[in-house]
Amino acid sequence: MLEIGAARSDAERTLEAAIVQVEAWKPCCLSYQPVSGGISNTNFLVRVDGDPVGYFVKIPGRGTEMFIDRSAARAASKQAEAMDVGPRTFDFLDHLDIEISEFLDDRRASTHRDFLDPAFRATVVSMYRRLHEAPPLPLTKTVFDMIEEHYEQVKQLGGYWPEDHAWLYRQYKQARAALEASGLDLVPCFNDPMPGNFLVGDDKSIKLIDFEYASNNERLYDLAIWSSEHFFSEDVEQEIIEEYFGRYDKRWHARFIVHKALADIKWSAWALVQNRMSTLDFDFYKYGIWKHMRARSIIYDPRWPSFLKAL
């Protein structure tokens, strides 16, 4: 753990300058250490002398204000806390757009291996159902809004486009038209199911962290991006749909698969923005190209036209 005054990087200096402003912590000795994980921000564990609670402090990454509404993220975190789905949150540094929540020492970040267990997946499905039944969030931001936002940002930043960008954009517009014609089912969505955002207890219970991308969005998008992030087979997707809705329907599965392609287009465009803006040590270019490739693999599937017709 580092003491105040021992900062070695810009992120650590930013952290120190912020946490000394917390009124409740001013009489205390503070120490901190970096926490690995995440590809948007720089994260720290802060210890307050005499306080048994560990604090998770998130320093926003450069440029993240372009696509993250911090006030909306706070509201989503508060709602998750009230539902006992997320950790306790603290408003100590909200005015600096720095997020602070309880550091859950008794839990570990999940891995892809956890999601091989059908019982574990069923627990996650149940949690998603609870999230989706909650009151609407203050921010409505569909996957269409996200894609358009990132496309405009890449243009403004002079970012890289893949050679078949125009073709990919046409496929997205066609899928969007089909989905909007069928009507959108907007509910509170998590939108960011990276394994590290699921914290697992010894009893296999789960808490979610990181609600920066949460918004009212299409219900099946939330399930589809979870499947995409964890490389589920179509057989597993069928189980997820049946577990979530109580029965399986091929039309829901078609919608699910279309949303998987849109999720990859969204995150590939996001990566192209990050490639121009972020100072984190992460290969956003490679990440974006991989996401583009996976979106193509779904759209190239001979069944793609039938998926769109089924919507």
Q: Give yes or no for a contact between 188 and 164, defined as CB atoms under 8 angstroms apart.
A: no
Range 256-262 average pLDDT: 98
162, burial (CB in 10 Å: exposed 0-12, middle 13-18, buried 19+): middle
Element (DSSP H or E) covering residue 100: strand 99-103
pLDDT tens for each residue of 68-114: 999 999 999 999 999 999 999 998 898 999 999 999 999 999 999 99
Work out the pLDDT band at 59, boundaries 50, 70, 90: very high
- Which residues lie below 8 Å from residue 6, measured CB to CB, with a gap of 6+? 12
Per-residue pLDDT at 133 exceeds 80: yes
**How far apart (Å, rounded) are the C-alpha atoms in residues 145 and 126?**
27
Per-residue pLDDT at 213 exceeds 90: yes
- Catalogue the long-range contacts made by 285-293 (C-beta closer than 8 Å, 24 or more residues apart): 285/160, 287/39, 288/160, 289/162, 291/264, 291/265, 291/267, 292/162, 292/168, 292/264, 292/265, 292/268
Element (DSSP H or E) covering residue 43: strand 42-48
Q: Which of 192, 189, 201 is nearest to 123 (CA)?
A: 201
β-pairing, 215-218 with 186-189?
antiparallel
Per-residue pLDDT at 149 exceeds 80: yes
pLDDT at 40: 83
pLDDT at 28: 84
- Mean of per-residue pLDDT scores for the chain: 95
pLDDT at 279: 87
**How far apart (Å, rounded) are the C-alpha atoms in residues 33 and 29?**
14
Per-residue pLDDT at 306 exceeds 90: yes
Domains and CATH numbers, the chain: 2-103 (3.30.200.20), 108-310 (3.90.1200.10)
Tell me which DSSP letter residue 28 carries. S
Per-residue pLDDT at 280 exceeds 90: no
Alpha helices of 183-233 — where are they, by DSSP H?
219-230
pLDDT at 240: 98
pLDDT tens for each residue of 221-243: 999 999 999 999 999 999 999 99
pLDDT at 281: 87
Range 121-128 average pLDDT: 97
pLDDT at 37: 79
**How far apart (Å, rounded) are the C-alpha atoms in residues 309 and 104?**
45
pLDDT at 151: 96
pLDDT tens for each residue of 151-170: 999 999 999 888 899 999 99
**How far apart (Å, rounded) are the C-alpha atoms in residues 125 and 109?**
18
Cα distances from 207 to residues 24, 262, 305, in angstroms, run: 26, 26, 38
Per-residue pLDDT at 38 exceeds 80: no
Per-residue pLDDT at 205 exceeds 80: yes
Alpha helices of the chain — where are they, by DSSP H?
10-19, 70-82, 118-132, 143-157, 165-182, 219-230, 234-245, 250-277, 284-299, 304-310
pLDDT at 27: 82
Enter the tokens of residue 13: 């200096």
